[in-house]
Amino acid sequence: METFGDIIRTAREGKGLFLRQVAAELDIDQAIISKFERTERKPTKEQVLKFAKFYKIDKGELLVAWLSDRVAYELMTEKDHERILIVAEEKIKYLKSKRTPEQV
Amino acid sequence: METFGDIIRTAREGKGLFLRQVAAELDIDQAIISKFERTERKPTKEQVLKFAKFYKIDKGELLVAWLSDRVAYELMTEKDHERILIVAEEKIKYLKSKRTPEQV
DNA sequence: TTAGTTTTGACAAATTTCGTCAAATCTAAT
DNA sequence: ATTAGATTTGACGAAATTTGTCAAAACTAA
């Protein structure tokens, strides 16, 4: 169960890079990357894709980690999170079925 | 599978009230309530609780509808929504287990 | 200590969300 | 067809949240 931050920190360490170097490469302030790695700030989708490309991490995998982080932090303090997720799942299926192919 | 909007619209109609009346009672602009009912805008948690109290709807139920709406709209356009929710669930359990009783 | 890396925190900039309002639209009755 | 009343729409500024920048503080390993 890795957070987005865990993944990009592990990837950076695996490549033996400093924050400074990644920051220069991705044109993102190193302070922000430090915060991403410690789950203190949430990246934008664009930034997630930058990381995926740079570290050669599967895009889909990284997006799953990122979005699940977002949902988790959104529901962390709520009761009934299990039911909320079940109902959300139904709603998503319904909403997706209503969308036109162009939107998919 | 009712949205928050469905629920409060049904409740209002059940009581035979006009938007204007609910708006006056809850001190929320009627245009906004109209948008809530059609899921065009998302209410704040405070507003959700106002509706629950006014319509005598179970607070927990209404919060589940509201939060699941939020999650659903957040993931509606994403692939792998099923996996995202599964991973989110694990993360929530983990995060909750780490919190102190005071935070619960 | 020192040199290099990471983390922290304060601040401004940018974006998103929110509330207000009036006009437009819709509906039902006469 | 007109009117009265209800709902919806859209534009706008205000408020709140998120984001980026920077420098200083805190770490770490020699």
Specify if B90 maps to a domain: no
Identify the pLDDT of residue B97: 87
Taking residues A48-63, report their average pLDDT.
98
User: Residues B15, B51: contact at Cβ < 8 Å?
Assistant: no
Specify if A47 maps to a domain: yes
Nearest-angstrom CA–CA distance, A93 and B91: 22
Domains identified in chain B, total number? 1
What's at A104, amino acid-wise?
Answer: V
Alpha-carbon Rg of chain B, whole angstroms?
Answer: 16
What pLDDT band is residue A103 in, cutting at 50, 70 and 90? very low
Helix (H, G, I), strand (E, B) or coil at A102: helix
Taking residues B32-54, report their average pLDDT.
98
Higher pLDDT, A11 or B98: A11
Q: Is the CB of A74 under 7 A from strand D?
A: no
The rounded Cα A4 to chain-centroid distance in angstroms is 5
What pLDDT band is residue A100 in, cutting at 50, 70 and 90? low
Are B91 and A67 in contact (CB < 8 Å)? no
* One-letter-per-residue 3-state SS of B70-97: HHHHHHCCCCCHHHHHHHHHHHHHHHHH
Specify if A86 maps to a domain: no
Give me the domain span that covers residue B25. Answer: 4-78
Specify if A66 maps to a domain: yes
Specify if B72 maps to a domain: yes
Joined tokens for residue A27: 């044109």
Joined tokens for residue A97: 């079925």
* φ, ψ (nearest 5 deg) of residue A39: 55, 40
- B38 CA from C28 C1′ (Å): 22
The CATH number assigned to the domain holding A50 equals 1.10.260.40
Specify if A82 maps to a domain: no
User: Residues B1, A94: contact at Cβ < 8 Å?
Assistant: yes
* A73 touches B: beta carbon within 8 Å: yes
Nearest-angstrom CA–CA distance, B4 and A87: 12
Specify if B14 maps to a domain: yes
Flag whether pLDDT at A28 surpasses 90. Answer: yes
Q: Dump pLDDT digits (tens) for A59-99.
A: 999 999 999 999 999 999 999 999 999 999 999 999 988 76
Chain A residues touching B89 at Cβ < 8 A = 81-82, 85
Flag whether pLDDT at A20 surpasses 50. Answer: yes
Measured CA distances, B72 to A18, A20, A34 (Å): 37, 37, 30
Q: Dump pLDDT digits (tens) for B44-77.
A: 999 999 999 999 999 999 999 999 999 999 999 9
Q: Which of residues 30-69 of B touch A (CB under 8 A)?
A: 60, 63-65, 67-69
Specify if A69 maps to a domain: yes
Other C-beta atoms lying within 10 Å of the C-beta of residue A65: 22
Identify the pLDDT of residue A1: 87
Nearest-angstrom CA–CA distance, B43 and B72: 15
* A70 touches B: beta carbon within 8 Å: yes
Q: What is the mean pLDDT of chain B?
A: 94
